[in-house]
Amino acid sequence: MTIRYIKYSLLLLVAGTFMSCSKKLDLSPIDNIDPSKAFRTVADLNGGLLGAYDGITNNTIYNVSLVTDECNLPSENNTGRGVATYRWQIHPSNTTITASFDENYIIIDRLNRALAAVNTVKVKAGEEQSRDQYHGELLALRAYCHLELLRSYAETYEPQAMGVAYMDSSYIGKPSRNSVAEVISFMERDLTAAKKLIPAGFKDNSRITLAAVSAIQARVSLYAKQWDKAIGFATEAINAVPLATVAQFPGIWKDEEEAEVIWKIKQVSGNDDLIGSRYNDVGGIVLYAPSFKLLNLFDKNNDIRYTSYVKFDDTRGAGKSLYSVIKYAGSKEANLADIKLFRTAEMYLIRAEALAEKDRVADGAKDLNTLRTARISGYQDQTFADKTTLINAIYDERFKELAFEGHRLFDLRRRNLNVARSNEDAANTNGALLMKPGDKGYAFPIPDLETKANKNMKQNPAYLK
């Protein structure tokens, strides 16, 4: 589904209704849904917003796991799921790798339809704050979806590189790609506006709160290399939502604890695309196991993340992986776990990296040490000789802390680093061990259907060779 044709899927029911009507009726054009008719009340705005939230999936997390050094492919995975992407057989027609493109633009289209009606809906007495809150959430979610698109599909993260099309209205046009700098500017605009609208007392972390806006702003600033902003926004999020303790941390991943969860997407029983099922089949097959490269970074005896993210079982038998990802295993139902989109730990790591870039090595080290103390029993603070040493340590910490949360590829891309799988993880890769900047897969391809339908939508260079 292309950006150009997104709206047609939303119109099928309307068109069918119109065809049964008399030709004598004075009907509005069927190529457009009038937001003033679809959204008449403040409750309607909330319904549109909830429909947009509902569109967020785990596709980006899955793709990042497949193409990086985060996972390996056990021989027991005979399902074929994701194997071509894992082996870097990546093409614009590969719907696994391009799934998040359609997903995010469909959400954005839903948001834009609701935003077009914000100032025209009927507002009853006492509903003004709710209307403003929904308005703020709509704007912030639009910025977030464009950030996810930018991370996956931008040519590079340099300001003048091709970014993605920033869609701030719903229309049947043929948009072209904005530059990375333009996309960042538009995201900043939407997030700044959102911050003025969402009330400070709104604390539902299954939706976008003020703390979540700050967290999104911190992540945007990290990619924009706006270090002072990154420090400021990360600090806002940290002050609003404290870091989990060692005792609290395991409960986050069983949905028994809300500590440090800034924004999450609720998962419900019966969902046929639960995030845990990306790694482990309900039939007991380990589809994708944690890579040995990742496992070797953990202090397995003292780091609470190791036992919260990974299960070791040496009784599974020959040909079976001894390790599995249990970060999303669920406790009440197999693979049923909420998707944590933003956590306070990421904010500490963003702030530490930004401080290092500002040559404030001691301050950056303090944030890194604070995070490690909250994760590793008996941890002793470390000092770092210089900025480079500290940033390398932060990258290793991001690899561990944010594993299976959809960051690893984009972290490597931010510094033009190779995706390098270890020899321990070489089995079943078909030689896909080293991906360099500019190779296929390093930046995801614009979907084939999109570039064919819209000649203004240029493809990323690697896929033109």
pLDDT confidence of residue 7: 43
**pLDDT confidence tier of residue 35, bands split at 50, 70 and 90:** low
Task: Read off the DSSP letter of residue 425.
Answer: G
pLDDT confidence of residue 36: 65
Give the pLDDT confidence of 354-373 residue by residue, as tens digits: 999 999 999 999 999 999 99
Above 60 in pLDDT, residue 58? yes
pLDDT confidence of residue 30: 36
End-to-end CA distance of the chain: 24
Whether CATH 1.25.40.390 fits 34-264+340-444: yes
Residues 6+ apart with CB under 8 A from 71: 65, 86, 279, 288, 289, 290, 291, 325
CB-based contact 392:411 (threshold 8 Å): no
Residue 60, token pair as written in the block: 């980006």
The full length of the chain comes to: 465
Tell me the whole-structure pTM to 2 decimals.
0.93
Tokens 């930046």, residue located: 443
Residues 6+ apart with CB under 8 A from 365: 352, 381, 382, 383, 384, 390
Give the pLDDT confidence of 383-418 residue by residue, as tens digits: 999 999 999 999 999 999 999 999 999 999 999 999
Cβ neighbours, 10 Å, residue 39: 24
